[in-house]
Structure formats: C-alpha cells, structure tokens
C-alpha cells in the first residue's frame, strides 16, 4: 500500500454482513484493534443511523457512520451532517412513481418508514427492512424531515426503471439500483462519497489514506473517490470494473480478511 491506511469504510449488505445478514463476530475485535493502532472504521450504508447502531452496538462508540447513503453523517458520536430532502422534490417523485404500476415508493425519516402503497406490495430486502412502518395515503407534511427515499420494483427490472426515473427526474435526484429490486433516489451531490469526505475532513485524513468496500451501485462514488476502492467478488460488474481491487465475497468474510491484513501491516 502506497499510503498508510488511516480509515476503512465498508458497506453492509453483500459486503460486511455474512450470508445471514449478520455482522461476523470477529468484526468487532478488528474494529477495536484497528482503532487502537490509529485506523478508524466507518460503516457506510444505505441503512439509517439507528439501524446501524443496532448492528454495531458493542463498538458503536468507537467508530463513525455514513448512513442513509450519505444523508446522515456521524463522527466521534457527533452528527456532523444531515441532508433533508426537499418537500417539492418528494412531491414530484411521488407523482412520477405513481405513473408506473410496477413501482412503489417508500420514504424514511429518522425513525419511521412511510409506504405510499399497501405493505404487501413491498418485499423486505437488505437495507430496505422497513422498520417502524406506516402505510400513508398522503405525503408527510413539510415538517417531516425525509432523509431517504427508495422505490421497490415489483418486476425486479431495476435497471430499466432507474433509467426511466432518471429521464423523468434527473434534475432532482440520482437513481441508483440497490439490492435486487430497489432503487435509491439520492439527492444530487449526496452519496456515500460526500459523507466519507466529511468524516475525512473532520479527522484530517486524505483520500489516499482511505480504503473502502462495496458491492452495489450506491457504492460507486465512494469506490471511485478513495485511495483504495475494493469491490466484492459478488458485486455489480460495473463496480468491479472501476475498483482498484476485487476481493472475495461477503460469504467468505473477505472484508474482515482485508481488515486483518491492514492490521498486520501496521
């Protein structure tokens, strides 16, 4: 490694988590050991901050978080950014999604999941586990701070649907396929990369000193941004193509193996 790694950022589903959607237990010891040697660990995920804290409860006070695809950023336990969606943009998104019977919109604030269709239209998948769910028939009021929006595609054709949404609403959102049936509607300029950039600035760390792991298209920006971008063997082909390295799969605990390798190199 040309530069000493000072920060490791990892996606969750399909990356850090095992085939059962759990954090392999050795991960916690690795996070603590790396922190003891001056290397910070950041969970970088489409999941909300509250859900990430549940996953990392043994070590949540010894790590940082880029949650909700960069809309929630925490460093040293301090919230250093929260990006709230424009209510006008959400109205436009809801109106557009309603044009297509195969698409179903879910909105998220800090603690709740709001479904614009009946719950049985959605499939719970990876970071779309829809915690604290509420079926709504009108959009939340402008006073509700929406930090995440996702579209479930019941035909599974996320690439075609993402293209359609980008054509309709490309000035208001960036659409990234996530998992097998969801599309994340991200605010322009807000991504895991923008979140990790804020964590880096907070700690005084350069991009060349950052290693990141991911598997899906909402990891694209961060893999391109950091000094050592690692794609999972089970990741999307486009992500593997632009990554600095392709490692093993999440089933093989490949991220944990890389964390151990960094630790041994210090």
**pLDDT tens-digit map of 88-100:** 999 999 999 999 9
Task: List beta partners, residue 114.
Answer: 107, 134
**155 pLDDT higher than 70:** yes
pLDDT at 1: 43
**Complete domains list, the chain, with CATH:** 7-82+190-265 (3.40.50.1000), 87-186 (3.30.1240.10)
Average pLDDT over residues 28-32: 98
Query: 122-133: per-residue pLDDT in tens?
Result: 775 544 566 678
pLDDT at 142: 95
**183 pLDDT higher than 70:** yes
**87 pLDDT higher than 70:** yes
Output the pTM of the full model: 0.90
The whole-angstrom distance between residue 233's C-alpha and the CA centroid of its chain comes to 18
Residue 121 binned pLDDT confidence (cut-offs 50, 70, 90): confident
Structural tokens at position 184: 């994340």
Asked if 187 contacts 195 with a C-beta cutoff of 8 angstroms, the reply is no
Over the chain, what is the mean pLDDT? 93
HSE-up of 100 (CA within 13 Å, CB side)?
A: 21
Task: List beta partners, residue 44.
Answer: 66
Query: 196-247: per-residue pLDDT in tens?
Result: 999 999 999 999 999 999 999 889 999 999 999 999 999 999 999 999 999 9
Average pLDDT over residues 46-71: 95
What percentage of the chain carries pLDDT values higher than 90? 83
**167 pLDDT higher than 90:** yes
**154 pLDDT higher than 70:** yes
Structural tokens at position 96: 């557009």
Average pLDDT over residues 14-21: 93
């Amino acid at each position: 490694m040309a530069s000493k790694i000072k920060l490791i950022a990892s996606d969750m589903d399909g990356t850090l988590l095992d085939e059962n959607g759990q954090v392999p237990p050795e991960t916690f010891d690795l996070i603590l050991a790396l922190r003891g040697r001056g290397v910070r660990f950041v969970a970088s995920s489409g999941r909300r901050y509250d859900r990430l804290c549940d996953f990392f409860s043994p070590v949540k006070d010894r790590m940082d978080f880029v949650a909700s695809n960069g809309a929630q950023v925490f460093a040293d336990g301090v919230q250093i950014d929260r990006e709230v969606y424009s209510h006008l943009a959400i109205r436009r998104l809801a109106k557009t999604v309603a044009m297509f019977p195969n698409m179903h919109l879910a909105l998220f604030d800090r603690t709740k999941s709001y479904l614009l269709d009946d719950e049985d239209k959605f499939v719970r998948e990876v970071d779309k586990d829809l915690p604290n769910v509420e079926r709504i028939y009108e959009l939340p009021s402008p006073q509700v701070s929406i930090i995440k929006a996702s579209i479930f595609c019941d035909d599974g054709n996320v690439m075609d649907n993402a293209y359609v949404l980008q054509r309709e609403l490309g000035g208001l959102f960036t659409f990234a396929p996530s998992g097998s049936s969801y599309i994340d509607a991200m605010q322009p300029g807000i991504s895991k990369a923008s979140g990790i950039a804020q964590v880096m600035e907070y700690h005084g760390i350069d991009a060349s000193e950052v290693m990141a792991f991911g598997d899906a298209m909402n990891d694209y920006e961060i893999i391109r941004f950091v000094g050592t971008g690692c794609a999972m063997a089970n990741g999307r082909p486009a992500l593997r193509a632009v990554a600095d390295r392709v490692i093993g799969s999440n089933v093989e605990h490949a991220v944990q193996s890389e964390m151990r390798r960094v630790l041994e190199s210090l």
